[in-house]
Structure 1
Amino acid sequence: MSLTVALREELAHIEDVGTARRLAEARAMVDLAGTLRVRGSDTGPNVSVVVRCAVGAVARRLRGTLVDVAGVPPGLARRQGGNLRGGDAYLVDVAGDALHVLGVLDDDGRPVRRRPEDIDPTEGYLAGGLMVAGTLSGVNAPVHLEIRTPDDRRAAELSPLVPASAVVGDRIVVKSGDAVAELLAVVGAHQTFLAFDGGRMRRELRRKVTRAVNADRANLRRATAAAGAHITAIEHLVAVLGWDGLPEDLADVALARVANPEASLTELGELLDPPVGKATVHRRLKRLIVLAEDA
Structure 2
Amino acid sequence: MSFSAVTKNELARVVGNKQCCRLAELAALIKMDGSVQINGMRRFSLNIVTENAAVARKIFTLLKNQFGLATEIMVRRKVRLRKNNVYLVRIPPQPGIDGIFKALGFEAGGFSFTEEGIVKDLISRDCCRKAYLRGAFLGGGSVNNPEGTYHLEIITDNLRHAQDLTELMQYFNLPAKVSPRKNWHVVYLKGSEQIIDCLNLMGAHSALLDFENARIYKDMRNQVNRLVNCETANLNKTVNAAVRQLENIKYLTETIGLDKLPKALREAAEYRLEHPDASLKELGELWDPPVGKSGVNHRMRKIERMAERLRSRKEEHGPKQN
The answer to whether TM tops 0.5 is yes
Partner of residue 53, structure 2: 56
2:85 is matched by which residue type in structure 1? Answer: D
* Structure 2 residue 77 is the aligned partner of structure 1 residue 80: yes
Cα shift at 1:160: 2.1
d(CA) in 2 for partners of 1:143, 1:117: 30
Partner of residue 276, structure 1: 291
Superposition misfits of 4+ residues, deviation over 4 angstroms = 83-86
Partner of residue 253, structure 1: 268
Match of 2:165 among 158, 169, 183: 158
Cα shift at 1:112: 6.1
* Structure 2 residue 133 is the aligned partner of structure 1 residue 129: no
2:168 is matched by which residue type in structure 1? Answer: L
Cα shift at 1:283: 0.7
1:261 is matched by which residue type in structure 2? Answer: P
Cα shift at 1:26: 0.5
Contact in 1 for aligned 2:117/2:160 (Cα 8 Å): no
Contact in 2 for aligned 1:117/1:161 (Cα 8 Å): no
Number of residue-to-residue matches in the alignment: 289
* Structure 2 residue 223 is the aligned partner of structure 1 residue 208: yes
Aligned CA distance change for structure 1 residues 153 and 114 (closer, same or farther; 3 Å)? closer
Cα shift at 1:17: 3.1
Report percent identity of matched pairs. 30
Contact in 2 for aligned 1:126/1:187 (Cα 8 Å): yes
Aligned CA distance change for structure 1 residues 114 and 124 (closer, same or farther; 3 Å)? farther
What does residue range 180-219 of structure 1 map to in structure 2 within 5 Å?
Answer: 180-219=195-234
d(CA) in 1 for partners of 2:48, 2:188: 22
Cα shift at 1:102: 2.1
* Structure 2 residue 14 is the aligned partner of structure 1 residue 20: no
d(CA) in 1 for partners of 2:214, 2:78: 31
Cα shift at 1:156: 2.4
Partner of residue 68, structure 1: 65
2:263 is matched by which residue type in structure 1? Answer: E
1:166 is matched by which residue type in structure 2? Answer: K
Partner of residue 143, structure 1: 150
Q: Deviation per CA, 1:258-288, whole angstroms, max 9, x where unpaired?
A: 1112211111111222211111111111111
* Structure 2 spans left out of the alignment, 5+ residues: 311-322
Contact in 1 for aligned 2:146/2:215 (Cα 8 Å): yes
Aligned CA distance change for structure 1 residues 23 and 286 (closer, same or farther; 3 Å)? same
d(CA) in 2 for partners of 1:111, 1:289: 80
d(CA) in 2 for partners of 1:199, 1:234: 52
Q: How large is the Cα RMSD of the aligned pairs?
A: 2.2
d(CA) in 2 for partners of 1:62, 1:99: 15
Cα shift at 1:191: 0.8
1:79 is matched by which residue type in structure 2? Answer: R
Match of 2:281 among 266, 271, 275: 266
* Structure 2 residue 178 is the aligned partner of structure 1 residue 167: yes
* Structure 1 spans left out of the alignment, 5+ residues: none
Cα shift at 1:201: 2.3
Which region of structure 1 is more displaced relative to structure 2, 202-211 or 112-121?
Answer: 112-121
Cα shift at 1:293: 2.2
Contact in 1 for aligned 2:52/2:86 (Cα 8 Å): yes
SS in 2 for 1:115: coil
d(CA) in 2 for partners of 1:284, 1:117: 77
